[in-house]
Structure 1
Amino acid sequence: MEKKTDLRIEKTEKAIKNAFIELRAKKPLEKITVKELCELALINKSTFYSHYEDIYALSEAMEQETVESIIGSIDHLKDYTTDNSDAFTRELCLAFMSQISLIKILFSGRGQSHLGIRLDKALKEVISRKYPEYKKDPAKQILLSYCIQGTYHAYLSNPQADTETFVRTIENIVRCLRPLL
């Protein structure tokens, strides 16, 4: 019996998220109402509110899931060292690009800077676990922000660049900055 409950919850979550993505692709976050989302997801408002406080909480949760998905798909994350930053950089870029359709929807408009900020925070946490001394070093924090947010904004500003050119260029930049790490 427990599995049915879990399956229903999963189906409801999926319906809510799919409806949200569909609406978010058409309009800004602040223009989406719980009523229209529920109509599209074929659920009651009370069902929505049993899962999320409001549309903004749903958006926040989906943004966080996207960041976790990007970071979770980096194979060399556990093995990251400043010496193997090329593999890490390549995997981060490819992980980011694999989610680009969803990213463009969730982080469009005023939400565009949210992804850079979220990635910056999450990746710094991961790197600080491996290099705890980085957490208290303002120069390292600035350098990491420069690499993380710079990569994100470079991609946004250069959508015409093919994947290999983009990744290779970012790898070269990080390689040049490696001595500072």
Structure 2
Amino acid sequence: MYCRNEVGFYDQVDFSNSSRANFYGNTTFSRSPVFSNGIELGSKDVLGDGWNPKGGRNAVVWWNQVGSGSVKYWMEQKSDRRLKENITDTAVKALDKINRLRMVAFDFIENKKHEEIGLIAQEAETIVPRIVSRDPENPDGYLHIDYTALVPYLIKAIQELNQKIEKMEKTIA
């Protein structure tokens, strides 16, 4: 495994069987890790089970080898009804939050890579704080956005839009 840029591991790190990395506790990658030559992944190797980056958001991260030397991953969050209590419909006004997020185009300073659309973490944090994270070892360091954490807000915003459309359709009919 070759990791380039800044990588921070917290608590115990165990590389077993020369093909799997088992992380215990909180594992933080300050930048995207780079994997090349020598990583062998099965169809579903668990990278993290019980990962809890923001309190209560346990997740499993799966890795899968794609071709030669490239890796794809996906993340699943625990959502089984048996793990939850006090279940109620949310009162979050997601459409308002989504509308307040300012989408921008920008160039990264480090590599001049242009991004056609994205968010500024400092701005997003004031609207939807749970999507922004800080390096626990360096609270004054760079902020990161977890775009997947926006998905529940997007689903709720679509539901709110659908309710508005249905109400307008009833008025027209």
Same fold (TM over 0.5): no
Task: Compare the two structures and name the one with the higher strand fraction.
Answer: 2
TM-score where L is the length of structure 2: 0.27
Task: Compare the two structures and name the one with the higher helix fraction.
Answer: 1
Structure number, greater radius of gyration? 2
Higher relative contact order (CA 8 A, sep 6+): 1
